Amino acid sequence: MPLTVYNTLTRRREPFVPRDPEHVRIYVCGPTVYDDAHIGNARPVVVFDLLVRFLRTLYPRVTYVRNITDVDDKINDRAAEEKITIRELTERTLARFQEDMAALNARPPDVEPRATEHISQMIGMTEELLGHGHAYVAEGHVLFHVPSLAQYGRLAGRDREEQLAGARVEVESYKRDPADFVLWKPSDANLPGWESPWGRGRPGWHIECSAMSREYLGSEFDIHGGGIDLAFPHHENEIAQSCSAEPGTEFARYWMHNGYLLSEGEKMAKSLGNFYTVRDLLCRHPGEALRLLLLSTHYRQPIDFTEDGLRRARRQLDRWRRTVAGAPPAGTPPPAVLEALGDDLNSPRAIAALHGLGGAELHAGLRMLGLLEVPHDEWFQGASETGPSDRAIDEQIAARAAARARRDFTAADSIRTQLAEAGVILEDTPAGTIWRRK
């Protein structure tokens, strides 16, 4: 099954050819752990989880690295606000992130490196850049000198003049060029810092991904992923750093970017009341519904998240579960599903291909997409904090069965209505009455 991917670097779809067919290597930018993941953070996690699952069906070995940014000024600010240590904040946030993503059936990456545990690698790369004349020291900072690299701007598709035309930021006086960016910056006593050849300081954001991807995947690997908003400047800067630190190397061959996410038709913002954390949504909707909704739109398309869409996704999963019944997932997913995924990860087409299937084939297709991993009993009858207990429901069903037996349908319907109001739906089948939580 061939895989074609859209490569942001070339702006076209290309056949995916791994550097080493025995070992595919992929890096995706992970979260800055200062606050709970919102729905927009979840999209790349789910998209690249699916990509990695698919790659694993194609290649014998896949190494998936997703970093954790645990040194960042937003983290410093938040920790100060909450009057807790940076470590407490990052540990707590990371644990919650991992729980949330697990609820979306996103498997953990093979390596989840933390920035704070790779400072020496970042210092090392910064020294290499200085040694090659791509960086300079100014007022305690180490800066990457953008004009030193002719190809800068290739990923974002913009040249130097365009960037200058758009410059809206005040340029720090120590920068030789407005586009230069920080590799290392000084920390005062109140900020996290590490000893370095340039004094006590902390790394810039971009150097983190260059250093950690090299540590675990080597100087050249296959796929680098993230949200489209990271393409510039973050990914552009990563390329600049990595290719300059080791001249002649290619860094990532394929760049894949997921599209932006809107919420209820607008950019998600706390002030608009359309800001959803994954954690919030998981209180009201199953994680698999969120996963399905995110995969219902092609990853490069903009997606308009709505809670209504989430409800529809959940009902779709209800139906599939009934159709699958007790069928085990067959060994191989349906060819149409694999074909769609091979076509630049066309998950909406893969989902469409599932309709009309049944039994083991459908089950296998859904499992390929990372759906239906939650056991059926838990899905339909899982514990509820507000509804009646399983035992109370069984008692009511027995009472209703007795009423129906004496053809007292008024009493029977009354019981059914009461349960419905409590969020429990009854279905009479030839094998007896079954129930599920709404």
CA 335, 340, 344, 345 dihedral sign is: negative
Strand partners, 305: 263
Q: Which residue, 60 or 432, has its beta carbon nearer to RNA?
A: 432
DSSP codes of every residue in 288-355: HHHHHHHHTS-TTS-EEE-HHHHHHHHHHHHHHHHHHTTPPPPSS--HHHHHHHHBTS-HHHHHHHHT
Q: Which residue, 20 or 229, has its beta carbon nearer to RNA?
A: 229
Contact flag: residue 304 with RNA (CB under 7 A): yes
Q: Which stretch binds RNA (CB under 7 A): 54-62, 80-88, 95-103, 232-240?
A: 232-240
Contact 297, 303 (CB under 8 A): yes
Tokens of 94: 């990371």
| Nearest to 163, CA basis, from 155, 242, 129, 72 | 155
Q: Total residues at the site for RNA (CB under 7 A)? A: 75
Burial class (CB in 10 A: 0-12, 13-18, 19+), 354: buried
- Of residues 162-221, which lie at the interface with RNA (CB under 7 A)? 162-163, 165-169, 181-182, 185, 204-205
Residue type at 191 in one-letter notation = L
Q: Which residue, 2 or 21, has its beta carbon nearer to RNA?
A: 2
Contact flag: residue 334 with RNA (CB under 7 A): no
Q: Which residue, 172 or 195, has its beta carbon nearer to RNA?
A: 172
- Of residues 385-404, which lie at the interface with RNA (CB under 7 A)? 404
Contact flag: residue 154 with RNA (CB under 7 A): no
Count, residues in the chain: 438
**Minimum distance, C-beta of residue 315 to RNA, in the bound complex (Å):** 6
Binding pattern for the stretch 100-139 against RNA, x by CB under 7 A and - elsewhere: ----------------------------------------
- Of residues 397-436, which lie at the interface with RNA (CB under 7 A)? 404, 409, 412-413, 416, 425-429
Q: Which residue, 250 or 343, has its beta carbon nearer to RNA?
A: 343
Q: How far apart are CA 119 and CA 377, in angstroms?
A: 47
Tokens of 393: 């429901």
Contact flag: residue 160 with RNA (CB under 7 A): no
**Minimum distance, C-beta of residue 131 to RNA, in the bound complex (Å):** 22
- Of residues 345-364, which lie at the interface with RNA (CB under 7 A)? 346, 348-349, 352, 355-356
Q: Which residue, 18 or 31, has its beta carbon nearer to RNA?
A: 31
**Minimum distance, C-beta of residue 322 to RNA, in the bound complex (Å):** 5
**Minimum distance, C-beta of residue 39 to RNA, in the bound complex (Å):** 8
**Minimum distance, C-beta of residue 291 to RNA, in the bound complex (Å):** 14
As a whole number of Å, the CA-based R_g of the chain is: 26
Please select the residue that binds RNA; options are 268, 327, 336, 360, rule is CB under 7 A. 268
Binding pattern for the stretch 6-35 against RNA, x by CB under 7 A and - elsewhere: -----x-----------------x-xx---
Binding pattern for the stretch 62-81 against RNA, x by CB under 7 A and - elsewhere: ----------xxx-------
Contact 142, 184 (CB under 8 A): yes
| Nearest to 287, CA basis, from 89, 45, 91 | 45
Q: Which residue, 23 or 111, has its beta carbon nearer to RNA?
A: 111
Please select the residue that binds RNA; options are 20, 82, 99, 229, rule is CB under 7 A. 229
What are the two backbone dihedrals, phi and then psi, of residue 69, each rounded to the nearest 5 degrees? Answer: -85, 105
**Minimum distance, C-beta of residue 404 to RNA, in the bound complex (Å):** 5
Residue with tokens 């992130």: 97
| Nearest to 32, CA basis, from 108, 83, 89, 104 | 89
Q: Which residue, 14 or 318, has its beta carbon nearer to RNA?
A: 318
**Minimum distance, C-beta of residue 263 to RNA, in the bound complex (Å):** 8
Strand partners, 27: 65, 224
**Minimum distance, C-beta of residue 277 to RNA, in the bound complex (Å):** 12
Tokens of 24: 């595919």
User: Which H/E stretch holds residue 428?
Assistant: strand 424-429
Contact 138, 175 (CB under 8 A): yes
